[in-house]
Amino acid sequence: MHAIILAAGRGNRLAEFNPDGRPKCLLEFGGRSLLERQLDILFRLGVRHATLVLGYKAGLIVEHIATLSSRPEMALFYNPAFEKGSVLSLLAAHEMMTSGETVLVLDADVLFHPRIMQKLIESAHENCYLLDRDFAAGDEPVKIAIHAGEMVEFRKALPDGLEFDTLGESVGFFKFNGEIAAKISQACEDYNSEGLLGAPHEEALRDVLLAQPSAFACEDVSGLPWLEIDFPEDVERAIKEVLPAIQKDVADF
Protein backbone atom coordinates (compact mmCIF):
# COMPACT_ATOMS: atom_id res chain seq x y z
CA MET A 1 0.00 0.00 0.00
CA HIS A 2 1.31 3.41 -1.04
CA ALA A 3 0.14 6.79 0.25
CA ILE A 4 -0.27 9.79 -2.05
CA ILE A 5 -0.46 13.01 -0.05
CA LEU A 6 -1.67 16.21 -1.70
CA ALA A 7 0.25 19.08 -0.10
CA ALA A 8 0.51 21.66 -2.86
CA GLY A 9 -2.05 24.19 -1.61
CA ARG A 10 -1.38 27.63 -0.26
CA GLY A 11 -4.08 28.30 2.36
CA ASN A 12 -4.78 31.97 1.59
CA ARG A 13 -7.71 32.09 3.99
CA LEU A 14 -5.47 31.42 7.00
CA ALA A 15 -3.21 34.47 6.72
CA GLU A 16 -4.31 35.72 10.15
CA PHE A 17 -2.90 32.60 11.84
CA ASN A 18 -0.03 32.10 9.42
CA PRO A 19 1.82 35.44 9.14
CA ASP A 20 4.98 33.87 7.71
CA GLY A 21 3.01 32.25 4.90
CA ARG A 22 3.88 28.62 5.54
CA PRO A 23 2.12 25.90 3.53
CA LYS A 24 -1.02 24.75 5.32
CA CYS A 25 0.38 21.30 6.01
CA LEU A 26 3.16 22.88 8.10
CA LEU A 27 0.80 24.61 10.51
CA GLU A 28 1.50 23.32 14.00
CA PHE A 29 -0.96 22.15 16.63
CA GLY A 30 0.41 21.00 19.94
CA GLY A 31 3.97 21.59 18.69
CA ARG A 32 3.74 19.26 15.66
CA SER A 33 2.80 20.03 12.09
CA LEU A 34 -0.20 18.50 10.37
CA LEU A 35 2.14 16.76 7.94
CA GLU A 36 4.38 15.39 10.68
CA ARG A 37 1.39 13.88 12.44
CA GLN A 38 0.04 12.35 9.24
CA LEU A 39 3.35 10.79 8.24
CA ASP A 40 3.89 9.43 11.75
CA ILE A 41 0.42 7.84 11.79
CA LEU A 42 0.97 6.25 8.38
CA PHE A 43 4.33 4.85 9.46
CA ARG A 44 2.93 3.43 12.69
CA LEU A 45 0.18 1.72 10.69
CA GLY A 46 2.69 0.00 8.43
CA VAL A 47 2.72 2.27 5.37
CA ARG A 48 6.34 2.36 4.27
CA HIS A 49 6.16 4.35 1.02
CA ALA A 50 4.53 7.68 0.26
CA THR A 51 4.38 10.15 -2.60
CA LEU A 52 4.09 13.80 -1.65
CA VAL A 53 2.75 16.26 -4.24
CA LEU A 54 4.16 19.72 -3.59
CA GLY A 55 3.51 23.19 -4.95
CA TYR A 56 3.45 26.31 -2.79
CA LYS A 57 6.78 26.86 -1.00
CA ALA A 58 7.81 23.28 -1.73
CA GLY A 59 11.30 23.86 -0.35
CA LEU A 60 9.98 24.47 3.16
CA ILE A 61 8.16 21.14 3.11
CA VAL A 62 11.23 19.30 1.83
CA GLU A 63 13.31 20.80 4.64
CA HIS A 64 10.67 19.82 7.18
CA ILE A 65 10.49 16.21 5.97
CA ALA A 66 14.26 15.90 6.36
CA THR A 67 13.90 16.53 10.11
CA LEU A 68 11.37 13.72 10.64
CA SER A 69 12.32 10.20 11.66
CA SER A 70 8.94 8.48 11.98
CA ARG A 71 7.75 8.57 8.39
CA PRO A 72 7.55 6.44 5.24
CA GLU A 73 10.17 6.64 2.51
CA MET A 74 9.21 9.66 0.44
CA ALA A 75 9.00 10.35 -3.28
CA LEU A 76 8.41 14.01 -4.15
CA PHE A 77 6.55 15.40 -7.14
CA TYR A 78 6.07 19.08 -7.93
CA ASN A 79 2.93 20.59 -9.44
CA PRO A 80 3.96 23.94 -10.95
CA ALA A 81 0.30 24.77 -11.64
CA PHE A 82 -0.79 24.21 -8.04
CA GLU A 83 -2.91 27.37 -8.02
CA LYS A 84 -5.08 26.10 -10.89
CA GLY A 85 -6.83 23.31 -8.99
CA SER A 86 -6.05 20.15 -7.09
CA VAL A 87 -6.99 17.91 -10.01
CA LEU A 88 -3.55 18.77 -11.41
CA SER A 89 -1.91 17.82 -8.13
CA LEU A 90 -3.43 14.35 -8.25
CA LEU A 91 -2.43 14.13 -11.93
CA ALA A 92 1.16 14.83 -10.86
CA ALA A 93 1.05 11.46 -9.05
CA HIS A 94 0.10 9.70 -12.32
CA GLU A 95 3.04 7.30 -12.11
CA MET A 96 1.90 5.94 -8.77
CA MET A 97 -1.79 6.01 -9.63
CA THR A 98 -1.14 3.78 -12.66
CA SER A 99 1.33 1.42 -10.97
CA GLY A 100 -1.29 -1.23 -10.23
CA GLU A 101 -0.68 -0.91 -6.51
CA THR A 102 -3.33 -0.09 -3.91
CA VAL A 103 -3.05 3.58 -3.02
CA LEU A 104 -4.26 5.93 -0.34
CA VAL A 105 -5.13 9.42 -1.58
CA LEU A 106 -4.92 11.89 1.29
CA ASP A 107 -5.32 15.61 1.88
CA ALA A 108 -2.44 17.01 3.93
CA ASP A 109 -4.39 19.67 5.82
CA VAL A 110 -6.39 17.45 8.18
CA LEU A 111 -5.99 17.04 11.95
CA PHE A 112 -7.40 13.60 12.75
CA HIS A 113 -7.65 10.75 15.24
CA PRO A 114 -5.26 7.91 14.26
CA ARG A 115 -8.12 5.41 14.30
CA ILE A 116 -9.61 7.15 11.27
CA MET A 117 -6.60 6.23 9.17
CA GLN A 118 -6.55 2.77 10.72
CA LYS A 119 -10.15 2.16 9.63
CA LEU A 120 -9.27 3.16 6.07
CA ILE A 121 -6.13 1.04 5.83
CA GLU A 122 -7.67 -2.02 7.45
CA SER A 123 -11.00 -1.80 5.64
CA ALA A 124 -12.04 -4.92 3.73
CA HIS A 125 -13.27 -2.63 0.94
CA GLU A 126 -10.75 -2.24 -1.89
CA ASN A 127 -12.18 1.15 -2.88
CA CYS A 128 -13.14 3.01 0.25
CA TYR A 129 -14.36 6.46 1.26
CA LEU A 130 -14.67 7.69 4.85
CA LEU A 131 -18.03 9.04 6.02
CA ASP A 132 -18.75 11.21 9.06
CA ARG A 133 -22.49 11.55 9.73
CA ASP A 134 -21.92 14.09 12.52
CA PHE A 135 -21.29 17.18 10.45
CA ALA A 136 -22.57 20.74 10.21
CA ALA A 137 -24.65 21.21 7.08
CA GLY A 138 -23.59 23.98 4.72
CA ASP A 139 -21.98 24.78 1.40
CA GLU A 140 -18.41 23.89 2.38
CA PRO A 141 -18.42 20.18 3.38
CA VAL A 142 -17.90 17.64 0.60
CA LYS A 143 -20.87 15.38 1.13
CA ILE A 144 -21.38 11.66 0.57
CA ALA A 145 -24.97 10.61 -0.10
CA ILE A 146 -25.92 6.94 0.15
CA HIS A 147 -29.13 5.31 -1.05
CA ALA A 148 -29.93 1.64 -0.45
CA GLY A 149 -26.33 0.95 0.54
CA GLU A 150 -24.74 2.55 -2.53
CA MET A 151 -23.06 5.94 -2.87
CA VAL A 152 -25.13 8.10 -5.19
CA GLU A 153 -23.41 11.48 -4.89
CA PHE A 154 -20.11 12.97 -3.80
CA ARG A 155 -20.05 16.75 -3.94
CA LYS A 156 -20.43 19.92 -1.91
CA ALA A 157 -23.77 20.75 -3.54
CA LEU A 158 -26.33 17.96 -3.92
CA PRO A 159 -28.77 18.07 -6.85
CA ASP A 160 -32.42 18.82 -6.15
CA GLY A 161 -34.53 15.70 -5.77
CA LEU A 162 -31.64 13.37 -4.99
CA GLU A 163 -32.86 10.33 -3.07
CA PHE A 164 -30.66 9.18 -0.19
CA ASP A 165 -31.07 7.58 3.20
CA THR A 166 -27.64 8.41 4.65
CA LEU A 167 -25.70 11.66 4.39
CA GLY A 168 -22.29 12.51 5.76
CA GLU A 169 -19.14 14.51 5.18
CA SER A 170 -16.09 13.09 3.44
CA VAL A 171 -12.94 13.15 5.55
CA GLY A 172 -10.76 13.65 2.48
CA PHE A 173 -8.98 10.29 2.77
CA PHE A 174 -9.54 7.48 0.25
CA LYS A 175 -8.28 4.01 -0.64
CA PHE A 176 -8.30 2.66 -4.21
CA ASN A 177 -7.16 -0.56 -5.84
CA GLY A 178 -4.91 -0.38 -8.88
CA GLU A 179 -7.71 -0.55 -11.44
CA ILE A 180 -9.77 2.26 -9.94
CA ALA A 181 -6.69 4.40 -9.24
CA ALA A 182 -5.76 4.23 -12.93
CA LYS A 183 -9.28 5.28 -13.96
CA ILE A 184 -9.14 8.24 -11.59
CA SER A 185 -5.79 9.29 -13.01
CA GLN A 186 -7.28 9.13 -16.51
CA ALA A 187 -10.19 11.26 -15.34
CA CYS A 188 -7.68 13.84 -14.08
CA GLU A 189 -5.98 13.79 -17.48
CA ASP A 190 -9.36 14.33 -19.14
CA TYR A 191 -9.95 17.43 -17.01
CA ASN A 192 -6.50 18.67 -17.97
CA SER A 193 -6.92 18.08 -21.70
CA GLU A 194 -10.37 19.70 -21.67
CA GLY A 195 -9.01 22.81 -19.95
CA LEU A 196 -11.04 22.30 -16.77
CA LEU A 197 -8.10 23.21 -14.59
CA GLY A 198 -10.04 24.82 -11.78
CA ALA A 199 -11.64 21.54 -10.79
CA PRO A 200 -10.86 19.99 -7.41
CA HIS A 201 -9.57 16.42 -7.50
CA GLU A 202 -12.82 15.29 -5.88
CA GLU A 203 -14.52 15.80 -9.25
CA ALA A 204 -12.33 13.14 -10.85
CA LEU A 205 -13.10 10.79 -7.98
CA ARG A 206 -16.80 11.54 -8.40
CA ASP A 207 -16.76 10.76 -12.12
CA VAL A 208 -15.33 7.29 -11.54
CA LEU A 209 -17.53 6.65 -8.52
CA LEU A 210 -20.76 7.45 -10.35
CA ALA A 211 -19.69 5.42 -13.40
CA GLN A 212 -19.49 2.22 -11.32
CA PRO A 213 -20.85 2.82 -7.80
CA SER A 214 -20.95 -0.89 -6.97
CA ALA A 215 -17.14 -0.90 -6.89
CA PHE A 216 -17.07 1.49 -3.91
CA ALA A 217 -18.02 1.44 -0.24
CA CYS A 218 -17.70 3.60 2.87
CA GLU A 219 -16.33 3.20 6.36
CA ASP A 220 -18.25 5.19 8.96
CA VAL A 221 -15.95 7.21 11.24
CA SER A 222 -18.68 9.17 13.00
CA GLY A 223 -17.70 10.02 16.56
CA LEU A 224 -13.96 10.15 15.89
CA PRO A 225 -12.55 13.70 16.04
CA TRP A 226 -11.06 15.27 12.91
CA LEU A 227 -10.99 18.62 11.16
CA GLU A 228 -9.86 19.95 7.81
CA ILE A 229 -8.05 23.25 8.33
CA ASP A 230 -9.43 25.77 5.83
CA PHE A 231 -10.67 28.83 7.73
CA PRO A 232 -9.57 30.85 10.78
CA GLU A 233 -12.39 29.34 12.81
CA ASP A 234 -10.98 25.89 12.02
CA VAL A 235 -7.71 26.84 13.70
CA GLU A 236 -9.56 27.92 16.83
CA ARG A 237 -11.61 24.73 16.88
CA ALA A 238 -8.55 22.57 16.29
CA ILE A 239 -6.78 24.11 19.29
CA LYS A 240 -9.74 24.20 21.67
CA GLU A 241 -11.73 21.10 20.72
CA VAL A 242 -10.26 18.63 18.24
CA LEU A 243 -6.68 18.29 19.49
CA PRO A 244 -7.74 17.93 23.17
CA ALA A 245 -10.34 15.32 22.18
CA ILE A 246 -7.73 13.26 20.34
CA GLN A 247 -5.14 13.61 23.10
CA LYS A 248 -7.70 12.49 25.68
CA ASP A 249 -7.95 9.18 23.81
CA VAL A 250 -4.36 8.90 22.48
CA ALA A 251 -1.85 9.79 25.18
CA ASP A 252 1.19 10.29 22.93
CA PHE A 253 -0.55 12.23 20.15
pTM score above 0.75: yes
* pLDDT tens, position by position, 91-129: 999 999 999 999 999 999 999 999 999 999 999 999 999
* pLDDT tens, position by position, 56-86: 999 999 999 999 999 999 999 999 988 888 9
For domain 2-249, the CATH superfamily is Spore Coat Polysaccharide Biosynthesis Protein SpsA; Chain A (3.90.550.10)
3-state SS of the chain is: CEEEEEECCCCHHHHHHCCCCCCHHHCEECCEEHHHHHHHHHHHCCCCEEEEEECCCHHHHHHHHHCCCCCCEEEEEECCCHHHCHHHHHHHCHHHHCCCCCEEEEECCEEECHHHHHHHHHCCCCCEEEEECCCCCCCCCCEEEEECCEEEEEECCCCCCCCCCEEEEEEEEEEECHHHHHHHHHHHHHHHHCCCCCCCHHHHHHHHHHHCHHHCEEEECCCCCEEECCCHHHHHHHHHHHHHHHHHHCCCC
* pLDDT tens, position by position, 2-60: 999 999 988 777 767 777 889 999 999 999 999 999 999 999 999 999 999 999 999 99
Res. 134 pLDDT band, cuts 50 70 90: very high
